[in-house]
Amino acid sequence: MAEIDTQAEAAGLLQQLGLKEYEAKCFVALTRMDTATAKDISEITDVPRTRVYDAIRVLEAQGLVEIQHTNPRQYRGVPLDEAARTLRRQYESRIDELQEALTAIEPAETNDEQVTHEVWSLSGTDGITSRSLQLLDEADTEVLFIISEDSLVTDETIETLQTVTARGVDVLVGTVTTEMRDRLRERVPDAEVFLSELEWLHAADDQIAIGRMLLVDESTILLSSLDESKGTEKAIFGRGFQNGLVVITRRLMATGLLPTRDPGK
């Protein structure tokens, strides 16, 4: 049962990368065999033999399958590393094309006045991480970043912090554990890394914890919460010097700056 689940998961992921159902199932089947005929593939999948030929033609055109023109024809998948590189190139190319197409679209004309203060919400750790990285990239003068969970300190986040400090931006990072503090000090030596006094960042009885608090140039904030029972993250972010949310968050984060010169410095 576990093997069947794994195959179904792999086929589902391939469909997310652009393959159709039968194409994905045929490719997964070929990864299980050195070579196979259309009959072999059909027997270990629920793909009709006539549809196997169609799927193989598409897979061959995408550089994922090789064909030996014997009678009957033999098929084999390309090595997995090669297949992964091919799919990654195709996926990234589609993203680039999408970005270009969306950028080229003319903005709709509206009569709305420009908003100077805004608050938005986000859901999902991947999306929140992407927005955090974008805000860090936009920093001109100062970044204050308090993080409560080690899992949120990704390699990409660290690399972005390194880039930001290299631009001369003042970066202060608060952590809630000495282990996280020491790791960040080692990898982002130009940042000021300290133990925050915001103990309430940790989850209480309700299992809701503050995940990250990010303040950029004293005018843009991102504040996320973690539901540890569900493993989900939600966030809000706001802009504007006079935005009430920004003002309140600035004051809260300031209370965590007191131990900047802690004994472990």
Q: Are strands 208-216 and 220-227 parallel, antiparallel or unpaired?
A: antiparallel
pTM listed for this prediction? 0.63
In contact, 215 and 256? CB cutoff 8 Å: no
In contact, 55 and 28? CB cutoff 8 Å: no
User: Tokens for 143?
Assistant: 């970044």
Residue 168 CA neighbour count, 13 Å, CB half = 1
Give the pLDDT of residue 158. Answer: 94
DSSP string, 114-146: PPSSEEEEEESHHHHHHHHHHHHHH-SSEEEEE
The conformational region for residue 207 under phi > 0 = left, psi -120 to 50 = alpha, else beta, is left
In angstroms, rounded to a whole number, what is the distance separating the alpha carbons of residues 27 and 5? 16
Please give the span between the terminal C-alpha atoms of the chain, in angstroms, as a whole number.
53
Give the pLDDT of residue 198. Answer: 60
Place of tokens 């045929």: 26
Residue 191 CA neighbour count, 13 Å, CB half = 28
In angstroms, rounded to a whole number, what is the distance separating the alpha carbons of residues 184 and 159? 11
pLDDT in tens, 152-185: 888 999 999 999 999 999 999 988 888 989 999 9
pLDDT tens, N- to C-terminus, the chain (265 residues): 566 788 889 999 999 888 999 999 999 999 999 999 999 999 999 899 999 999 999 999 999 999 999 999 999 999 999 999 999 888 888 888 888 888 888 776 655 555 455 678 888 888 999 999 999 999 999 998 988 888 888 899 999 999 999 999 999 998 888 898 999 999 999 999 988 766 555 555 556 778 888 989 888 889 888 887 788 899 988 876 555 556 666 666 655 554 444 444 4
Residue type, 76: R
In contact, 250 and 159? CB cutoff 8 Å: no
In angstroms, rounded to a whole number, what is the distance separating the alpha carbons of residues 12 and 15? 5
CATH classification (class only), 118-254 = alpha beta
Domain with CATH 3.30.870.10 in the chain: 118-254
Place of tokens 């003002």: 247
Domain with CATH 1.10.10.10 in the chain: 2-102
Give the pLDDT of residue 242. Answer: 58
Place of tokens 């006079």: 242
**CATH 3.40.50.920, applies to 2-102:** no
Provide, for the chain, the percentages of residues in helix, strand and coil under a 3-state DSSP scheme, each rounded to the nearest 5.
Answer: 45, 20, 30
In contact, 223 and 235? CB cutoff 8 Å: yes
64: how many CB neighbours lie within 10 A of its CB? 22
In angstroms, rounded to a whole number, what is the distance separating the alpha carbons of residues 183 and 112? 47
In contact, 175 and 181? CB cutoff 8 Å: yes
